[in-house]
Structure 1
Amino acid sequence: MKPTFIFVSHADSGDIHTLGMAADGQLTTLHTLTLGGTLMPMAQSPCGRWLYVARRSEPMAAITLGIDRTSGALSKRGEAALPGSMAYISTDATGRFLFAASYPSDLLSVSPIGADGQVEQVQQQVPTGRHAHCIFATPSNRHVLATSLGGGQVLQFHFDAATGALTPNTPAAWQARPGAGPRHLRFHPNGRWVYLLNELDATVDRFTFDPEAGTLEHQQTIASLPANFAGEPWAADMHLTPDGRFLFTSERRSSTLTAFALDASNGAMTLLRQTGTEAEPRGFAITPDGQTLLAVGQVSHHLSRYAIDATTAALTLQQRLPMGQNPNWIEITA
């Protein structure tokens, strides 16, 4: 059985922690790699050999890290300049291109990845509406979706997997409701449904996805906030369990995780419950077996490990660990 490693990036202490997960789920901090700067979004290569992290402070760059698949230790292999402070990075399905979305610079970028796994110089920049926030390839690797939080859009692109080129689809974007603030997108494991978390009103939108056209069709909107919530929403992250039965979101002002059940016939969402968690849970992740949720708090500087009830999606706290300063992104080896 291959070991499971968890990587946590820290925006203020400028380091990445490697945690090991035992067969019973118990977590142990194994290594700390200090790189310096504001380290935030991360992405793994499809082959599992490389971890990429975006440094959001000057000099802004995509840093390539090698993963020791036996110990989980990370080693720096190189870095390549990025044209902005990136809120999100991901690779295409082949691992040959790195996508990035810049919130302050209002742009997307595409960088080649060499045969040695290292990110190379940016080859394309795409201007967006205000505050690009998320970008990733669709399951077929023929299209790319991205969000513009300030522009209130989900952008739709054709993607040439041979050259890495992005070209606008028709239509080029889906327009969200005023004040929604599209932030993060996730595909259902079946590849037919897409979910969108909106930061500014903390709602979730559900779409059907046309794999041939690469376009979205809106189906449902549902609120994720606790019933007694008062104030300005600040939704953050969203993940589905690998079996596609449950969807979870995080909200920073209430410091909660919200669980939804997904209808197996059409993907429709039903609100189940909220669970209090670490303060300002910007990032969380679900293990590949779907049994465990890990959440970090930006201002609590801790990680909480929860067991996910397979029937109700209820979260039960199992462990709490100190992290570095301002933990915000989690990657788990597959």
Structure 2
Amino acid sequence: MVRMSRRGFLQGSAAATLGAHPWASFAESAGSRSLFVGTQTTKGSKGIYAYSFNSATGELTQTGLAVDADSPTYLALSPDKRVLFAANELDEFEGKKSGAVSSFAVDRKAVKLTKINEVAAGGPGTCHVSVDHTGRCAFAANYGGGSAASFAVDKTGKLSDAVSFFQYSGHGPKPQQTGPRGHRVTVSPDNKYLFVNDLGLDEIHIYHLDASTAKLTPQDPPAWKAEPGSGPRALQFHRNGKWAYCVNEVSSSVNVLDWNAQKGVFTTAQLISTVADGHTGPSAPSEIAIDKAGRFVYVANRLDDFMVSFSISPTDGKLTLMERTSCGGKTPRHIALDPTEKWLLVANQATDNLSVFARDSKTGKLANEGKSFPISRPQCIVFL
């Protein structure tokens, strides 16, 4: 197999260890939690790694390689946490131009993974995987192939071959948009729709989901359209199911979207920048996290490498900028709040480190300094 290399321009030097941060004493003592970290297997990394996280101190301890896997750059747990799915971000799989999707049985006690099976994703550069709320359907977005696919999942966690597959065509106005770029597959809160963020076409494709078969049928209208040159990359719903937040990689912005579940339609409510007025340097937002209370949004920005925090209006879901702070490294590819939400974890790809920042759950503010833990090419963080 040939590994995907489109992110080579974002990769950089080895990690620098950050000093212990000043908010450690504010962390809640809630014991240890296990997590998995997906990696890009291009520089010594071997697959998915297991960690123990101390939510009282913010310390991460690597407990070993959970499973050997080829570039498992995005991970998703089934609702019952018995199966982990991975997007294998490859250019070739089984002699064809395709990435892959893998499933693994989770041993929660040992924090180990056992491979169930692996199937072709239908297009190269498989960069995202998700699972529906029943655990019986999985989905993949193919960046290099500009496509998306759905898969049925049986009771053992085994993936079927693709049930539905969609190949997109066209391009956007920016150099990063020379073709379609599937980047995110997101299931609606009611499990009736699937959304595919297309960074290249400035669209979010919308499909009806038959959860009994994993079959996808295009909605009418078939897509929400972003402003030209936006590059919609990541999508996450608010806990109320009425608002969604779309991170735009190319224009360094976030769209607040109103979701009408009856009509299957997104309506743009707000467009807000992640960079300061007058900013002229490079910036490429990558990921979004929302706290469980639905009060705060966090966005990681690559190239200029910082975190941006927003507060959420409880009346209409619109965002207000709070602050921009350190991401603790370079090229923050993924972020995740720990289960206590006292900490924000950042996977910094180019500096080969995971950063941990204390978080004030009342104000939503992040510490300016964090703790740093080395790992080669971290891509995705998933708590068990």
| TM-score, reference length from structure 2 | 0.83
Q: What is the alpha-carbon distance in structure 2 between the residues aligned to residue 296 and residue 275 of structure 1?
A: 15
Of stretches 28-37 and 189-198 in structure 1, the one that deviates more from structure 2 is 28-37
Partner of 2:48: 16
Q: What is the alpha-carbon distance in structure 2 between the residues aligned to residue 206 and residue 38 of structure 1?
A: 32
Among 374, 377, 380, the residue aligned to 1:322: 374
Among 320, 339, 363, the residue aligned to 1:312: 363
Q: What is the alpha-carbon distance in structure 2 between the residues aligned to residue 260 and residue 283 of structure 1?
A: 17
Shift of 1:120: 2.0
3-state SS of paired residue (1:120): strand
Shift of 1:23: 4.3
Partner of 2:157: 117
Shift of 1:15: 1.4
Q: What is the alpha-carbon distance in structure 1 between the residues aligned to residue 183 and residue 208 of structure 2?
A: 19
Partner of 1:156: 206
Q: Does 1:297 align with 2:348?
A: yes
Shift of 1:189: 0.8
| 1:17-46 superposed Cα distances (whole Å, 9 cap, x missing partner) | 111122414321112135243221111111
Among 160, 176, 185, the residue aligned to 1:135: 185
Of stretches 220-229 and 277-286 in structure 1, the one that deviates more from structure 2 is 220-229
Partner of 2:255: 205
* C-alpha contact 2:88 2:127 (8 A) present in aligned 1: no
| TM-score, reference length from structure 1 | 0.95
Letter in 2 for 1:304: S
Letter in 2 for 1:21: F
- Structure 1 residues 196 and 158: CA distance shift in structure 2, 3 A: same
Partner of 2:287: 237
Partner of 1:220: 270
| 1:55-77 superposed Cα distances (whole Å, 9 cap, x missing partner) | 12232321212221123222222
Letter in 2 for 1:309: D
* C-alpha contact 2:237 2:244 (8 A) present in aligned 1: yes
* C-alpha contact 1:14 1:39 (8 A) present in aligned 2: no
- Structure 1 residues 136 and 17: CA distance shift in structure 2, 3 A: same
| 1:249-301 superposed Cα distances (whole Å, 9 cap, x missing partner) | 01111110100000111111000111122210011111233221100111110
3-state SS of paired residue (1:123): strand
Q: What is the alpha-carbon distance in structure 1 between the residues aligned to residue 357 and residue 32 of structure 2?
A: 19
Q: What is the alpha-carbon distance in structure 2 between the residues aligned to residue 36 and residue 157 of structure 1?
A: 30
Q: What is the alpha-carbon distance in structure 2 between the residues aligned to residue 285 and residue 271 of structure 1?
A: 19
Among 105, 130, 134, the residue aligned to 1:94: 134
Shift of 1:330: 1.2
* C-alpha contact 1:243 1:290 (8 A) present in aligned 2: no
Shift of 1:227: 4.8
Of stretches 114-123 and 262-271 in structure 1, the one that deviates more from structure 2 is 114-123
3-state SS of paired residue (2:195): strand
3-state SS of paired residue (1:125): strand
Shift of 1:102: 0.7
Paired positions, count: 332
- Structure 1 residues 128 and 289: CA distance shift in structure 2, 3 A: farther
Among 34, 58, 67, the residue aligned to 1:5: 34
- Structure 1 residues 190 and 103: CA distance shift in structure 2, 3 A: same
Q: What is the alpha-carbon distance in structure 2 between the residues aligned to residue 326 and residue 332 of structure 1?
A: 18
Structure 1: runs of 5+ lacking an equivalent = none
Among 76, 88, 109, the residue aligned to 1:43: 76
Q: What is the alpha-carbon distance in structure 2 between the residues aligned to residue 283 and residue 226 of structure 1?
A: 21
Aligned-pair identity (%): 28
* C-alpha contact 1:226 1:274 (8 A) present in aligned 2: no
Partner of 1:65: 104
Shift of 1:81: 2.2
Letter in 2 for 1:243: A
| 1:65-100 superposed Cα distances (whole Å, 9 cap, x missing partner) | 222112322222222222122111101111111111
Shift of 1:3: 5.3
Letter in 2 for 1:4: R
Letter in 1 for 2:363: T
Shift of 1:52: 1.0
Q: What is the alpha-carbon distance in structure 2 between the residues aligned to residue 288 and residue 264 of structure 1?
A: 22
3-state SS of paired residue (1:212): coil
Letter in 2 for 1:91: V
3-state SS of paired residue (2:361): coil
Higher relative contact order (CA 8 A, sep 6+): 2
Letter in 2 for 1:124: S
Letter in 1 for 2:75: M
Structure 2: runs of 5+ lacking an equivalent = 1-29, 94-98, 170-179
Partner of 2:10: none
- Structure 1 residues 253 and 229: CA distance shift in structure 2, 3 A: farther
Letter in 2 for 1:72: V
